[in-house]
A = this chain, B = another copy of it.
Amino acid sequence: MENQNISDIIEAYLKQILAESQEVEIRRSEIANQFNVVPSQINYVIKTRFTIQDGYVVRSKRGGGGYIRIEKVKLLDNLDFIDSLVTAVGDHITRHDGLAVVRSLFEAGTINRREANIMLAAIDKTALNTGDRDLDEQIRAQILISVLDHLRYES
């Protein structure tokens, strides 16, 4: 709390707006100015904190009147939602993105907190630590997909 980095602050600012409206549209240079960072840092914040795994869709336009629009994704039915997560997982996934997937499931109400914690425990660095990062990411993807497939039946 005492020493938050600026990316976290920008993330919080945007999510606060998104808590009240469905989407937020910004001018990149304005936000960069407002928080006193270079414009490309806004891209960094979006790339690391507003991914599809997190449940956000980002559209943008360049040139005069350009913008970046972040939209909180509306979940379709459960099955489509799980499909989209399976696609997002793919055949490799980092811990960071894996966490986002589990969080999405939780926020969508597909799983509860206890179930989320079990999933997280199964894919965290304690569990997957072969020494080969690529292999870890592959196994993490397989575990997630296996669990996601199971969630299809129970829902």
Contacts and interface: CB of A to CB of B under 8 A. Distances in A.
Interface of A: 1, 3-5, 8, 25, 27, 63-65, 67, 111, 113-115, 117-124, 126-130, 135, 139, 142-143, 145-147, 149-151, 154-155
Contacts of A65: 3-5, 8
A32 to B, nearest CB: 16
Contacts of A130: 135, 139
Nearest to A111: B118
19 contacts: A3-B65, A5-B65, A114-B154, A114-B155, A117-B155, A118-B119, A120-B150, A121-B143, A122-B123, A122-B146, A126-B142, A126-B145, A127-B143, A127-B146, A127-B147, A128-B142, A128-B143, A130-B139, A139-B139
Contacts of A124: 146
A120 B149 CA distance: 12
Given A114-B154, A117-B154, A122 B139 contact: no
